[in-house]
Amino acid sequence: MCGCPRRDAMSTSNAESDEPTKPAFDDEAIESIRHHLLDWYDRHRRDLPWRDIDDPYATWVSEIMLQQTQVSTVVDYYERWLERFPTLESVAEADREEVLDLWEGLGYYRRARYLHRSAQQLVEEGDGTLPDTADELEELPGIGPYTAGAIASIAFDEPTPVVDGNVARVLSRLRTLEGDPKERANEKIQWRLADQLVDPDRPGDFNQAMMELGSAICTPQNPNCLICPVREHCQAFETGQPEQYPEPTDRPTQKSVSAATAVTVRRPEEGLEEFAVVKRPAEGLLGGLWEFPTVELEDDDAIGDRIDTYLAETLGLSAASRVEGRALEDVTHLFSHIRLSLSLRLRVIDAEESTRADDVATERPLKWIARDRLDDLPMSMAMRRVEELALDALDEGEPV
């Protein structure tokens, strides 16, 4: 037993006597909520490309893309992905660069790496199909309790619940759950309630209906209770202050990270300018993406010195090779928990001096790439902005 809330909710042996009994629904309420919610969903559900398909692989792709990303953003990526990778085998055969390239701009790149790795694992170790139960799906990298429940219920009709932020809010309001909704004990209660409610005949539709209710009607502020299909069972509505549930939680503080990026350019005797680009380590933030040489800054670092040291010691590009240089506009990019501030420097270096010193040991593969091929590399949104500023500066035609 993994101790995760979905599995706890499914385990009958876990119905300990110390579990609070108050939040549970009675049989009449369960039937009524199922009926009214599915009826509402059938009439109002959004038309989305991953609905009404019979392809577990495509459901998997959609659910991974929908993690932390809005539906409106996902639609185009989903369609492009399935056009390029119509089957699980086609993802398994692709190289990582291409997978990341297709994911570019969607963020949270770890999701793409997990999809790729899982597809390879399923082809190498099995018959190239997805497992059909939530328990087995949860064994795959990048699939947590929510995604496992969503795929199993939507693609395989397993009557298993899902609880995401939207569902947690609806449940907290239906049963006026007190306390921090992210606390372990409360999460367990939410999964239990969702497990009670999920419709055994239409589990996928029921789960999607709960999520859609949360995003369209039972919104964090100003829930539209007057048109809510489950209002007659909602305890928070009866209090007259439904937005008091769930209790607000402290937002995680956003860590500030400062870094310097050196857009390093050389001008061969013939052909277009070339840019030094470095591949990020495979794991971690923006793993596997390419970037212009970037180094994190300490509080008292002088930016120019820090860049020169980094280029020389890590990438083998000597400061002596610099022929021109200047500062560009700073770039700020917000990740979920990080505020990244990039100080930019444009460096033009002597083409003949640009060969990396042989004695520099580096784990970061650097390459020179012509400006018309920069768009072929998978890069983060922040680096695309850096690219734009650097190309503008170069195209202004003034000496840098």
The one catalytic residue among 16, 63, 104, 183: 63
Contact criterion met (CB below 8 Å) for 307 and 344: no
Q: Pairing state of beta strands 274-279 and 255-266?
A: antiparallel
Q: Is 230 in the site for ligand SF4 (CB under 6 A)?
A: yes
* Contacts of the segment 239-245: beta carbons below 8 A, 24+ positions apart: 239/176, 242/173, 242/218, 245/169, 245/172, 245/173, 245/176, 245/177
Contacts of ligand SF4 in 159-188 (CB under 6 A)? 170, 173-174
Number of H helices, E strands in the chain: 15, 7
Q: Is 231 in the site for ligand SF4 (CB under 6 A)?
A: yes
Q: Is 209 in the site for ligand SF4 (CB under 6 A)?
A: no
Q: Is 228 in the site for ligand SF4 (CB under 6 A)?
A: yes
368: Cα separation from own chain's centroid = 30
Q: Is 236 in the site for ligand SF4 (CB under 6 A)?
A: yes
Q: Is 211 in the site for ligand SF4 (CB under 6 A)?
A: no
Which is closer to ligand SF4, CB of 173 or CB of 279?
Answer: 173
Q: Count Cβ atoms below 10 Å from residue 258 Cβ, excluding itself.
A: 16
Taking the C-alpha atoms of residue 80 and residue 57, their distance in angstroms, rounded to an integer, is: 15
Q: Is 246 in the site for ligand SF4 (CB under 6 A)?
A: no
Using CA atoms, how far residue 10 sits from 169, 198, 204, in Å, is 20, 12, 16
Which is closer to ligand SF4, CB of 228 or CB of 260?
Answer: 228
Binding residues for ligand SF4, rule CB under 6 A, total 14
Report, in Å, the least distance between residue 217 CB and ligand SF4: 5
Q: Is 242 in the site for ligand SF4 (CB under 6 A)?
A: yes
Which is closer to ligand SF4, CB of 228 or CB of 297?
Answer: 228
Residue with tokens 């444009």: 346
Q: Is 317 in the site for ligand SF4 (CB under 6 A)?
A: no
Whether 183 is a known active-site residue: answer no
Chain residues that interact with ligand SF4, rule: CB under 6 A: 170, 173-174, 217-218, 223, 225, 228, 230-231, 234, 236-237, 242
